Chains A and B, each alone.
Chain A
Amino acid sequence: MDSTTPEQVMQQVQALLERRRTTQARVLLQAALATNPQHTGLLMQAAWTDYLDDRGDEALATVKQVLASQPHHESARLLYFELLVKAERYVEAEPVIIELLRDYPEHAPYYGRYASLMLHALKLPKARQLAQEGLKSDPDDTDCLGAITICDFIEQRDRDTSGALQRLLAYHPQSAQTLVLVAVALQQRGDLKEARHVSQELVRAQPDNTPLVEMAHQLKLSTHWSMVPMWPMQRFGWVGSIVIWLIALFGLRIAANASPALGAVSTVVFLVYVVYSWTWPAILKKLMPM
């Protein structure tokens, strides 16, 4: 007969969840919950496992079960907030995190999570203020520093005037969040190859993290040799597209005036480039699936 206590199971499951081995965690939890179906700690770990596996409905049901008997359970309230944010139910999520902050006013990560919610709701100034408030309690909190870094990216503070990314690199260099933000910073500076290297390291560490895998795949496609002609658009966005259009418009006219044959060739080349820019990225994505 298995004499493993719920607390021992929880320790094992915690170690598995930190490595995102949710399948093994689920097996342990199912066995433990069969004998202890109302154990709050096991129920919460089951809910977190479902959350990590994108099983939002199951996680929500479990969290509500815990909150029904223990409405002030901190971890349950936090997971409830995370589930609401993931489901884009931002209006319902906001009072949950506000109540957590009222109960735990010195807990910096909650300011970071609230800041993240404000970023999802496109409320940039409040996101920055919340993160800065959280840093008063803990100057090195990753959630708050991450939120400020994202605010810096949005406002295109390329020189990292807030120092948030630097602090993340100094104090949390191995954190997945730090590396993701470094990859984004490299992308913004046009250094796609370095961003690809960083993203590949992240995928090696977390191969089951779908958003990371998608980011790494997108960078792999962007740095493929056949995408070199797309460089103006990759580097300069829509401004690059407009400049190319203007060059083509006047350039084709000049070429046609110089020689009908040159005009015809130039027109064909331009049309081929337009068709390539519209179709090749999608074709490449199909040729090189994740």
Chain B
Amino acid sequence: MNSPREDLLRPSLSGGDSPVSAPYSMQTTFLTGFFGGPFAAIAIFAINSFRLRRISRDLPVGIGMLLVVLLGMWVLHRTAPGGAALAWLEASLGSRSIRFVHQMAGLLIVGAAYLLHRREQRNSDLLGLKRPNGWVAGIACILLGTALSIVCLAALRM
């Protein structure tokens, strides 16, 4: 039986597992979710999961987020209570109501993603680890997220 010390002296960074990479910064994640909405936020969360080598842990959460977003969209656009909520928002915020829901949903996903990856984010910040440039991934996720939102909305309104 291995002693605890022997377990500690077993290499963690070589072998089958490729090294973990620092995730995209919270600034990238936040702006992606804010401008791209919930699908964009889920996309950047998935990319961070891949970089952190925790796909198997985060996959159920990611699928759950997707289902919640789709269910939420269906409730808002195809049920009476959802319609009433949208009407109230439109009365409060005018033409910005849909955009507000889009941004809030994105930020809620960003918040959930932060809760899951907060240790890795804080670790990266404290150690000053080099973060990947967020422009390409952020813009790609925003475009993807926006496209998916448009497609889903169009499908729900048919």
> What total of chain B residues lie within 8 Å of the partner, measured CB to CB?
32
> What total of chain A residues lie within 8 Å of the partner, measured CB to CB?
34
Does A95 touch B at the CB level, under 8 Å? yes
A126 to B11, CA, bound (A): 11
Q: How far is the CB of B48 from chain A (nearest CB, A)?
A: 12
Return the contact of A249 from the options B9, B12, B52, B100 (Cβ within 8 A): B100
A95 to B96, CA, bound (A): 57
Instruction: List A contacts of B52 (CB < 8 A).
Output: 122
Return the contact of A126 from the options B12, B96, B130 (Cβ within 8 A): B12
Are A101 and B9 neighbours in the complex by a CB distance under 8 Å?
yes
Query: At the interface with chain A, which of B55-63, B117-125, B132-140?
Result: B117-125
Does A15 touch B at the CB level, under 8 Å? no
Instruction: List B contacts of A55 (CB < 8 A).
Output: none
Return the contact of A121 from the options B12, B114, B130 (Cβ within 8 A): B12
Are B127 and A98 neighbours in the complex by a CB distance under 8 Å?
no
Does B126 touch A at the CB level, under 8 Å? yes
- Total number of A-B contacts with CB less than 8 angstroms? 72
Are B12 and A94 neighbours in the complex by a CB distance under 8 Å?
yes
Return the contact of A250 from the options B19, B92, B114 (Cβ within 8 A): B92
| A238-B30 contact, Cβ under 8 Å, with A133-B5, A249-B100 | yes
Are B9 and A253 neighbours in the complex by a CB distance under 8 Å?
no
Are B8 and A120 neighbours in the complex by a CB distance under 8 Å?
no
Return the contact of A90 from the options B4, B13, B123, B130 (Cβ within 8 A): B13
Interface residues of chain A, those whose CB is within 8 Å of chain B, are 88, 90-91, 94-95, 98, 101-102, 105, 118-124, 126, 129-130, 133, 150, 153-156, 184, 211, 237-238, 241-242, 249-250, 253
Could you jot down 10 A-B contacts, CB within 8 Å?
A94-B13, A123-B20, A124-B123, A129-B8, A154-B122, A184-B126, A237-B26, A241-B30, A249-B93, A253-B92
